[in-house]
Structure 1
Amino acid sequence: MTITELHALFLAHPTISTDTRKIKKNGLFFALKGPNFNGNAFAQDALEKGAAYAIIDDPSYKTSDRFVVCKDVLTTLQQLATFHRQYSNARIISLTGSNGKTTTKELINVVLSKKYRTIATVGNLNNHIGVPLTLLSIKEDTEIAIVEMGANHKKEIAALSSIAQPDFGYITNFGKAHLEGFGGVEGVIQGKSELYDYLIGNHKHVFFNADDGIQKEKLNAYTKKIGFSTQDHQFYNIVFLGTDPYVSLEFEGKRANTQLVGKYNFTNCCAAILMGKYFSVPLDDIKSAIASYRPQNNRSQILDKDGFSIVLDAYNANPTSMKAALENFDSMPNHPKTIIIGDMFELGSTAKEEHQAIVDLAAKLHFDHIYLVGTNFFGTNTTLNKFNSFDDLKEHLLKNPLEKGNLLIKGSRGMALERVLDIL
């Protein structure tokens, strides 16, 4: 079956499943393989649960005409996604970066949806499987699709760009994330810049932060760029007004008070405002969209619980985002201030020095109580409270309850530090 024929089948059955526990009735099941499973073995089960057809790459599993055999299921899924992207009239905005991708994606979506029919990456389905699934969620009436791209190695963004073929792109920043896979900060810059490489090579538009020296230098000679700045008047100016504790800003005389904590979220808002302006969303609609957005899923959420005012930022962490979170929490006025921070993953050979640098920073800032959690933080040279595991922290806090007040919780996803909420 050709991709054209498979696409016709998809249009007749326009939903995709890759997990038999989440089968979408009358859709297509793609039998993906992983290190510990063979999707082909689940294809019959998918059909019995309501899938219309199963796409497999092992012909020995075919028992009826409802099985479509291809050479490789993942490659076929990606090719189908690209075909559908070309078939659609939707404009594609892709974004990547070390920090803030998901929040920025959601902000862009709430702004542009004020005027357009949009779709956006669900959650953080931003890899070699998630990007195709996002593209295949584009409907006939979709006008703009916002596609988040994640990577932890070089060449991944290049591959995702070739699949999505974006019309526009934006890089949030270059930070100390996935240093192990990228081979250092310079590798991060090269890897994330693969989105620039695609856009420039295909004469597409680039949105960018003109106050970011790296971005400005890389795009210096490129003409199809649209930038925002707090100071350079040749770009779209947006004014940072402060955080108390939420970010407030002003553009074209419109003041927007957001529900986002931390100055690091200012540029995320700026990107959404810039795109709203470019796509002619009315200024009042841009303002109301930015003001109404509330972060979810452990991303810079402010919660009030049992006498604590909590900044819950436990979705992920790397040295850049951890430093920003600590400095932001330090700038907040009220005391007492307690921080519980967990290990940062995927740092490779730099893990020891990066964790020590965060410990040294935390010790210099104005926190009343500091708790370090995880094997990396436990190995640092410090007299601060440190715990080898979450269970050790839990045991300590049950015997020695935290002082009520302001609390920052931040760590990599694998640390699952949101569990602290259950023991306050």
Structure 2
Amino acid sequence: MKKEEIYPLFLECSGVSTDTRKITENSMFFALKGENFNANTFAVEALKKGAKYAVIDEDPETPNERFLKVDDVLSTLQDLATYHREKLGLTIIGLTGSNGKTTSKELINSVLSKKYKTKATFGNLNNHIGVPLTLLSMNRETEIGIVEMGANHQKEIEFLCGIAKPNYGYITNFGKAHLEGFGGIEGVIKGKSELYQYLKKNEKTIFLNIDDPIQQKETSYSKVFTFGESSEADVEVAYTQNGSFAGIKVNGLHVQSKLTGSYNAKNMAAAYTIATFFEVEQKLIREGLENYIPGNNRSQIISKENYQIIMDAYNANPTSMAAAIENLESMDTTNKVAILGDMFEMGPEAEKEHQAIADKLERSNIHRIFLVGENFYRTSTSNDITKFRTFEDFSAGFKPWQLDNAIILIKGSRGMALERTLEFL
């Protein structure tokens, strides 16, 4: 079956499912394949659990009129999402970058939803499966869609743009993330800039941080709406900080967030700028930014009886790790603690980048430093830094009573799962 034949059936359904453990009633089940699974074998189970149709690409053992046979389930999911996006005539904002894209996406959604019916990428569903699922979750009531796009190699953002076809786009920054897949920082810049290339080719609008010289160089385009500390920006912003919380000042209006880290001020500014472009009232923008509460281990402040935790353990790369360390250094407290885990997907740069972070910590004003993971364990450090090869070693050797009146930064790559530290704090 082709997408044009499947689409009317999709419109009969309540939504899309790809996991038989999370089937929703009257949904359309897509039997995706992976290296270690083949959901074609679960198509019958999907129907039994309430799916209205099951899209498959292998001949079923038992025929059923509710099986929809296609050449390839994944490409059908992607094609259907693009077809749906075009049928609805959606306004799509595409978003990518090395750091801060999920927080930026949430902030943009928070401010735009004050005026429009919006739909944004749920959680971190930002890849070749997540982007189609995001688009298919939109409907005729959706006025603006905010689609996060993740990538760890060249041409991936280009491919996702082909699916989502964004009308607008914003790149948070170019940092040292996924160096192994991109082949170094120049590869990161080239790969992330595929969003800009798509927008320029299709004469769409770019939202741009005018203070970022790399972004300025990569853009060179007339249809831009800018923000920054420069008076030349369309939205002139001053960055502020109240204790550990980021803020911005625009046109004399001060906006204070619940986001820790000075680096989050730029994410706020981007959301403010995009909302301004879409003519959201200033007071509503302020509400959207100030009422947003971070979750999912991203820039969260967790208060305990006699100490505070900056929980930023969802992900880490050299750029975001350095920013988090600098933010902790800037805080006015007599007891600063850093618990940092390995940064993944560094490839041949792993040894150098972990040593660079260790050297930065040696020069810092952080009082107690704990490094967890094989890469950090192999770094050359003084005895002032305590290192553990595994999380299990750390949990056994760490002494929580050292933390009285402390501010504690917890940060590491997703695979380190350092949020487990909360279990024994």
TM-score normalised by the chain length of structure 1: 0.98
SS at match of 1:356: helix
Q: What is the deviation of 1:5? A: 1.7
Q: What is the deviation of 1:61? A: 4.1
| Equivalent residue, structure 1, for 2:276 | 277
| Equivalent residue, structure 1, for 2:266 | 267
| Equivalent residue, structure 2, for 1:64 | 64
Alignment of 1:126-141 (within 5 A): 126-141=126-141
Structure 1 CA distance, aligned partners of 2:163 and 2:94? Answer: 11
Gaps of 5+ in 1: none
| Equivalent residue, structure 2, for 1:402 | 402
| Equivalent residue, structure 2, for 1:311 | 310
| Equivalent residue, structure 1, for 2:330 | 331
Q: Amino acid of the residue matched to residue 407 of structure 1?
A: I
**Contact 1:93-1:166 at 8 Å conserved across structures:** yes
| Equivalent residue, structure 1, for 2:364 | 365
**Contact 1:40-1:61 at 8 Å conserved across structures:** no
| Equivalent residue, structure 1, for 2:108 | 108
Alignment of 1:6-405 (within 5 A): 6-61=6-61, 63-220=63-220, 222-383=221-382, 384-398=385-399, 401-404=401-404, 405=406
Q: Amino acid of the residue matched to residue 313 of structure 2?
A: A
**Contact 1:98-1:174 at 8 Å conserved across structures:** yes
**Contact 2:350-2:375 at 8 Å conserved across structures:** yes
Q: Amino acid of the residue matched to residue 359 of structure 2?
A: D
**Contact 1:96-1:172 at 8 Å conserved across structures:** yes
Structure 2 CA distance, aligned partners of 1:233 and 1:288? Answer: 26
Structure 2 CA distance, aligned partners of 1:249 and 1:234? Answer: 15
RMSD across aligned C-alpha pairs, in angstroms?
Answer: 1.0
Q: What is the deviation of 1:409? A: 0.5
Gaps of 5+ in 2: none
**Contact 2:210-2:233 at 8 Å conserved across structures:** no
Q: What is the deviation of 1:62? A: 5.3
- Over 3 Å counting, the alpha-carbon distance change for 1:151 and 1:61 in structure 2 is farther
**Contact 2:240-2:265 at 8 Å conserved across structures:** no
Structure 2 CA distance, aligned partners of 1:62 and 1:18? Answer: 20
**Contact 2:373-2:391 at 8 Å conserved across structures:** yes
Structure 2 CA distance, aligned partners of 1:264 and 1:334? Answer: 19
**Contact 2:240-2:262 at 8 Å conserved across structures:** no
**Contact 1:31-1:55 at 8 Å conserved across structures:** yes
SS at match of 1:37: coil
The ranges of structure 1 where at least 4 consecutive aligned residues each deviate by more than 2 angstroms after the TM superposition are: 232-235, 400-403
Q: What is the deviation of 1:397? A: 1.5
SS at match of 1:263: coil
**Contact 1:243-1:261 at 8 Å conserved across structures:** no
Structure 1 CA distance, aligned partners of 2:95 and 2:350? Answer: 27
Q: What is the deviation of 1:343? A: 0.2
Q: Amino acid of the residue matched to residue 347 of structure 1?
A: M
- Deviation string, structure 1 residues 98-150 (Cα, Å, up to 9, x no partner): 00010000000000000000000000000000000000011111000000000
Count of equivalent residues: 422
SS at match of 1:269: helix
Structure 1 CA distance, aligned partners of 2:233 and 2:293? Answer: 31
SS at match of 1:180: helix
**Contact 1:94-1:146 at 8 Å conserved across structures:** yes
SS at match of 2:321: helix
| Equivalent residue, structure 1, for 2:417 | 416
Structure 1 CA distance, aligned partners of 2:233 and 2:252? Answer: 18
Structure 1 CA distance, aligned partners of 2:210 and 2:300? Answer: 28
Deviates more, 1:126-135 or 1:236-245: 236-245
SS at match of 2:398: helix
Q: Amino acid of the residue matched to residue 235 of structure 1?
A: D
SS at match of 2:403: coil
